[in-house]
Amino acid sequence: MITDAYTVNQLKKEAPVFGQLSFDDHEQIVFCQDKDTGLNAIIGVHNTILGPALGGTRMYDYATEWDALNDVLRLSRGMTYKAAITGLNLGGGKAVIIGDPKKIKTEALMKRFGEFVHTLGGTYYTAEDVGMETSDMDTVREVTPYVTGISESKGGAGNPSAVTAYGVYMGMKASAKYVYSKDTLEGKKILVEGIGHVGEELVKLVSSEGAQVIISDIDEDKLHKVSTKYNTTIYRGDDFYAETADIYAPCALGATITTKTIDSLKVKIIAGAANNQLENENVHGVSLQKKGIVYAPDFLINAGGIINVYAEIEGYGRNQIIEKTENIYTTTLDILTKAKVLGITTNAAALSIAEERIMNKKMKK
């Protein structure tokens, strides 16, 4: 793996796509631009061996196009493993739209993006992610059938946030079972970073079980709303990661688990909804292992969302959605145990299971 800063910067200039450390044999990358609507988007299709690529569209005001490209590559790769480990017949894909959703998102822009999705002919199905709402998916649906997570009133599975949070909750309880020999979260001190749609739903679940919840977010209005609604504590200290607690739940953007934050962390478990939580999955997975912190792999425990939207493609109902999401509990326990027995990181254990399923399907083709 390349870590030298000069080499990385040179690759950015000389090989801005294939030189990306996160490229990882992506099948297709589509750059989408429309000057009339202001659309600048990237669609990443990582792998379609198990089925069509599925992954949400994220709208975010990235500092650079490089950041946007790196994000879509990391996210689409993660979707491949998320679908594989969950047993879904799906591949991994993702899309990002560059810009502040509060400023540039319009119906015309969303429809134009949907037209780009349609040109892929079903290789990629989009869905809701950060900066998006169910209503946006309804708009995209007007121009392409290759979209999931549309409103229930329109025959869809609706907003996947609640199911995503429920899967994280299952993974968190399984991790507690592994560490504390019982899965109750009552009395546990939980740090929740990021209280968007999924984060708030997770706060609701753990608070109802009697956990002591401390929340952090850049949105002050949301902090006060959630704090009042669920009787949680707003973090006002200088170093959120240094707060002594039982569980850290990253639910904002990814890459919050770094060398610096690992040094600060005083928790036994990391189990959250954010994608790509490890800044470097090889380096930081090992660091967590050495420090004795149990990490519930994010692409496993946040898979409730993809389970929810996959229902629209496969046609199964609410009971099956919940059943498949609850199975995250058992899979998490299996992976934590496997990692311990083999002496490997939990992330590596999860990846090995996902990669084995993909390889088996590839061998049969």
Nearest 10 degrees: CA dihedral of 270, 273, 278, 284? 10
How far apart (Å, rounded) are the C-alpha atoms in residues 250 and 148? Answer: 25
Nearest to 197 by CA among 238, 136, 144: 136
Q: Does residue 328 contact residue 104 with C-beta atoms inside 8 Å? A: no
Catalytic positions: 94
Q: Which residues of the chain have pLDDT under 50?
A: 1-3, 6, 11
pLDDT at position 159 = 81
Model confidence pLDDT, tens digit, residues 297-329: 999 999 999 998 888 888 888 899 999 999 999
Question: In this structure, which amino acid lies at residue 220?
Answer: E
pLDDT at position 50 = 96
User: Which residues have C-beta within 8 Å of that of residue 355, sequence separation ≥ 6?
Assistant: 81, 84
User: Which residues have C-beta within 8 Å of that of residue 346, sequence separation ≥ 6?
Assistant: 285, 289, 294, 295, 296, 297, 335, 336, 339
pLDDT at position 184 = 97
